Amino acid sequence: MVRLSEITFRLPASPESSRFLGELRTLLAQVAYAEFAVSEPGRAVDRLTLTPPRPFGARPVTRFELADVPAPEVAFDTGRTISVWSDDTADRPTPSIEMADLTHRLSGHVQRVDHTGVNLPGGATSPEQWRELVGALASAATMYRYPSGEQWPFVLPSSADELRDDIRDFAVGREPRFELVYDQWLTQTEWQFALWTDLTRAELELLFPEPDGITFPDLEEIFRVVAIRHPWPGLGIRFDLCYRIEDGPSDWETGEWLVTEGGRIR
């Protein structure tokens, strides 16, 4: 059985990309399973790896790296890539926050990475292409439907045995997950990164008042959304900042809700 082992967010090798990875390194400095690498001593970070701490040997790992690519892309080691796309909307709102500003405000408060993800615009992806992509990933990873029916499937890191059978052990640490979103109304490709913080909703609202931060309908009690400015056309990048959980772990943190209520895609 082919196994999805790596999901890589690739950025064009440039000073702007190096600065982005440097800020990401600072932002995730408290995440125990984040590792940073440089190709040569004394140079800036050119790779960041997030390895799931549980279960032992869980895959896929998630990477961010500089690469010889003309534009950002997400690459799966099973041979597929997702490129950026935009409908060239001229009046698209520009985020007010730079990556450096996000890092400055949040530094020391990010504990874990819940998931990364790619939101695909309907204008760039037909329903047939969407089904084919989901099927290809589901054949190589433990992928689960979103229980409420939206087209938001999640890949959960898993062991080789779990890939062959299914996930039956639920514990915090099976992260970062990977989410695919199919959005008919989206006008450009979007990368999303959901981070667990040690801050309350009130604290995050003070750090990121509107328009710097917003909430989504029905998800106001879970996270605050901050979109950032960056130099790559055709791509949106947002961070979903999850509020501190007082009574945990929840069945979302352990993955139990997705596995038992959503069901595996095979």
Q: Where are the domains of the chain?
A: 6-265
Q: What local confidence, expressed as pLDDT, does residue 200 receive?
A: 97
Burial of 251 (0-12, 13-18, 19+ CB in 10 A): middle
Closest C-alpha among 86, 48, 45, 46 to residue 176: 48
Contact 58, 158 (CB under 8 A): yes
**Which band of pLDDT confidence, cut at 50, 70 and 90, is reported for residue 246?**
confident
**Which band of pLDDT confidence, cut at 50, 70 and 90, is reported for residue 132?**
very high
**4/139 Cα distance (integer angstroms):** 9
Contact 45, 28 (CB under 8 A): no
DSSP code per residue over 6-26: EEEEEEESSHHHHHHHHHHHH
Q: What local confidence, expressed as pLDDT, does residue 43 receive?
A: 64
Parallel, antiparallel or unpaired: strands 235-242 and 189-197: parallel
**Which band of pLDDT confidence, cut at 50, 70 and 90, is reported for residue 40?**
low
Closest C-alpha among 181, 205, 199, 213 to residue 246: 199
Q: DSSP label at 259?
A: I
Count the neighbouring beta carbons within 10 Å of the beta carbon of residue 135. Answer: 12
- In three-state secondary structure terms, 263 is coil
Q: DSSP label at 70?
A: S
**Which band of pLDDT confidence, cut at 50, 70 and 90, is reported for residue 263?**
very high
pLDDT tens for 180-212 read 999 999 999 999 999 999 999 999 999 999 999
Task: Enter the pTM of the model.
Answer: 0.95
Buried b (16+ CB within 10 A) or exposed e, 21-49: bbbbbbbbeebebbebeeeeeeeebbbbb
Res 247 pLDDT > 90: no
Contact 51, 70 (CB under 8 A): no
pLDDT tens for 3-13 read 999 999 999 99
**Which band of pLDDT confidence, cut at 50, 70 and 90, is reported for residue 248?**
confident
Joined tokens for residue 261 = 């209520």
- Mean pLDDT, the chain, whole residue set: 94
Q: DSSP label at 214?
A: B
Q: What local confidence, expressed as pLDDT, does residue 98 receive?
A: 96
Joined tokens for residue 170 = 């639920």
Backbone angles phi, psi at 207, to 5 degrees: -70, -35
Joined tokens for residue 55 = 């279960």
What are the beta bridge partners of residue 214?
Answer: 225
pLDDT tens for 58-69 read 999 999 999 999
What are the beta bridge partners of residue 6?
Answer: 61
Joined tokens for residue 241 = 């900042």
